[in-house]
Chains A and B, each alone.
Chain A
């Protein structure tokens, strides 16, 4: 059974600092997502990573994927308070078929302090 692990589970950081969230998964997958979730809200798609070595950037967030290491990272540059949220990675299982589904990591609660 696929396992998706994120660390850290909780991250408190100061504005202006950099940090990285890690997402490890246990079996092969061709697609990995990063989502943001604000309290009481739905999941907002941030990045979809489709291949080994893929790197995507949007504003202060940059995501990368290493399929050989089964590792994805979400790097935060010069954090601002507006980035405070819970971040989930999710691995797309059985991508390419009717039975595909997402397996989520445990989430990382990010709190950016002024």
Chain B
């Protein structure tokens, strides 16, 4: 199972503030995904990222969301102006290639007050 770390493990923020969630996969991952899970609900796809651009995004991933991999290592998810309904667990899920089993990082719990 590939090692993936996510920081922070828990973030509390005020509504309207910007947050950046970070994912640090091991170096030979090529495909990157963010998923979210609202408490007690199912896991939902947010966005996929390959070759330094977004491959696909869901309806949830609106203009308030952005992703980037600025240094070739960290993969970040930014929410520009958080809403109460953004409170959820956010999971990073990198893959070496599309045949790879999909593993998930430990997650970041985001709480918007």
Instruction: Point out residues on A near B: beta carbons under 8 Å.
Output: 33, 35, 40-43, 45, 48, 88, 90, 92, 95-107
A45 adjacent to B102 (CB under 8 Å) = yes
- Which residues on A sit within 8 Å (CB–CB) of B31? 98, 100
Q: State the CA gap A101–B98 with chains docked (Å).
A: 10
Judge if B33 is at the interface, Cβ distance under 8 Å.
Answer: yes
Q: Contact residues of B with A, CB < 8 Å?
A: 1, 31, 33, 35, 42-45, 48, 50-51, 55-56, 91, 93, 98, 101-107, 109
Cross-chain contact B43 with A101 (CB below 8 angstroms)? no
A101 and B45 contact, CB distance less than 8 A: yes
Q: How far is the CA of A84 from the CA of B31 in the complex (A)?
A: 32
Residues of chain B contacted by A101 (CB below 8 angstroms): 33, 45, 48, 56
Which residues of chain B are near A103, meaning CB under 8 Å?
45
A81 to chain B, nearest CB (A): 22
Bound state CA distance, A9 and B102, in angstroms? 23
Closest to B95 in A: A100
* The residue from B98, B102, B107, B109 contacting A96, defined by CB atoms under 8 A apart: B98
- Which one, A48, A88, A92, A98, contacts B43 given CB within 8 A? A88
Chain A proximity of B59: nearest CB distance (Å): 10
Residues of B within 8 A of A105 (CB): 42
What's the least CB distance linking B12 to chain A, in Å? 15
- Does B98 lie within 8 Å of A104, measured CB to CB? no
Q: Given A98-B50, A104-B44, are A92 and B106 neighbors across the interface (CB < 8 Å)?
A: no
